[in-house]
Structure 1
Amino acid sequence: MLGGEAIEHENFSSIVNDIGLLHSLGIRLVVVYGARPQIDANLAEHHHEPVYHKHTRVTDAKTLELVKQAAGLLQLDITARLSMSLGNTPLQGAHINVVSGNFIIAQPLGVDDGVDYCHSGRIRRIDEDAIHRQLDSGAIVLLGPVAVSVTGESFNLTSEEVATQLAIKLKAEKMIGFCSSQGVMSDDGDIISELFPNEAQARLETLEAAGDYHSGTVRFLRGAVKACRSGVRRCHLISYQEDGALLQELFSRDGIGTQIVMESAEQIRRATINDIGGILELIRPLEQQGILVRRSREQLEMEIDKFTIIQRDNLTIACAALYPFPEEKIGEMACVAVHPDYRSSARGEVLLQRIATQAKQMGLSKLFVLTTRSIHWFQERGFAPVDIDLLPESKKQMYNYQRRSKVLMADLT
């Protein structure tokens, strides 16, 4: 979903090149464009005052002509840019077919509170089969904010409705939108990398309460919440000002913007035999540094049911194990490791909470750790140094006096 603001920006040519590259990789693309600033500029040039009702444009006959003019020029411009998007690349000379057409049938919004929206409309139906045929043929489908009705009338639609309904009807894997910022921002000014639909809805309501109804972020959030709840797995919001943002968002593990998801890309779960390779890859550097006690693959295979992992897009980014001593009602939290790229987040704390919950479910009343490097981290979370004699007897017999690990224990009751 490309708003008119993105199309006006100097980085738009780079976005078009990235779209062309995605197409060359065999990714099926439907590009939806908006024209709000271009329409407003046309209205101002013709001294025609824009009219809104409940934050929706009222499209009278004069406005419709200016909408069609703006949308038509943008369609020609985007088509031309996509046609030459692979120039100066190894794929120079490859041809991209760009197809537009009457794939969307519109209907009028009608009258609300005595206000006639005139030629402002909404989607009545989408010919998804025809769009799929074009995508199957290798074309990029390009659609804008103007659609016709069964009676042949033209209607002005919002780009977010067009993009959202297309994503739902086509059962798209992703819907991607562009805004002026790098994504949805927190109150502290940081990028929020992931939101569930209910969280995105709350953020949307906050922005609207502050008077923001038409920014790229707000328009995208409206569509993304509906799309995710209707089966689109991920909706991404990125900056049109950031060169290469589209490729970074799609091809790096953590992306660069905000994604709205039905289920998190990150899972915390009990490990299985299939996770041994990922755990070994995570803990080997720490073993080589002497931070963790070395474990062989065979030992891991025998103890895999003791492990809990956090996985992000099939990468194991954190792990920990719980070894119970039921007779003493004590458990050991061991082999705690977090991937270097994720140590500034709260993954360690999440693992600690999960291990503590498992220990309580086993009827254990205390949890201990042996550590040489993370003493303060555990103390900040309720662990206190104790004497070796308080360890379970079998663990005490195995204590490595050369390693001289500190023993810390926490009460679970």
Structure 2
Amino acid sequence: MNMRILVAPDSFKGTATAAEAAAAIALGARRALGSSPHAATAQVTTLPMADGGEGTAEVLASAAVHRDGTAGQTITLPTTDAIGRLTEASYQLVGDTAFIDVAAATGLPAVSDALDPLHADSYGTGVLLADAESRGAKHIVLGLGGSASIDGGLGILAALGAAAHDSRGYALPKGGAPLVNLDHIDTAQLNMKAAMLDYTLVTDTRAVPIQAATMYGPQKGAEGEQVALLAGAMLKLCEVTDTDLQAEFLGAAGGIPIALSWLSRTLWGTAEHCRIVPGGRYVAEALDLPARIAEADLVLTGEGRFDEQSLTGKVVGTLAEMTGPPTLGIIAGSATAPAPQGALLEELGGEGRGDVAQRLSAAAERLVRSFLQS
């Protein structure tokens, strides 16, 4: 019987895309198999994964093209990054569905040299949404991970023509901090066609609204009083938009789901046109992952950092839930949590041991050898 290995990693943030990681891991797996009795007949298949973070749009668009037989296209256009600088960003359009990553325009790496957690905004992402509608999109699939802003999605609303005002009727400055003075959101100039699209928000966190600041603020440069100020801004936004403070998922991407859910309720009278889904499982189902796992003897996955959050909706956690008879092998840049029961865990090792592709291949080779010897 042929041995079958499925390689399904997430991206390794800032160092390797999911596709690059999959190729490197597969190379290491084949090296390990080369000296085994399975060398001649083993099958190693790659399936790059995502969970709502950077790279989600590309993975889902590729799956849609494969599933529907519809040609897709990459759209690139000028927009702004999270601190308002002119940049270019891309998204995928397949039929009447646009696949967009928040990280494409509003991502953290692009502004790592000038973090501004109080005033960073999601306007650039809103530009992409409006452009997609102008090209015929009727459905937006938005990957929420990797954002640099904590503005509750008000930047997106601004790009769609809405305006946040204080109690005196003055427009608020951009960013999250000014939302402590939010009184109402004016939709008189709203781009109705773009606003009334169907939205699927793909998230890798179950964070509630205030955690957009308290949990993720420090990652975006917020410290001490800044975190408290942004937390207050999220509370005020929830008050104005009548949003449940305990609603899971709404704290993703600096609170972007708060604004888009409110928009759906305001325009449609229901939140059904803005669906929020756990990213790992949503992507897994789009890729028909359960069927692929059922055919495998060993499933190799990985991510940059394996910790307790890895098992809550992210790629590794989703695979751990789905992997039954096959053994799960996890490759991580670093690990601060134990592997799930029955799984194998291999760390990449120090940065001084070659580039990330070489280290991924070496880790995969060690892991597969351990599996073969078990």
Q: TM-score, normalising length from structure 1?
A: 0.25
Larger Rg: 1
Pick 1 or 2: higher relative contact order, CA cutoff 8 A, min separation 6.
2
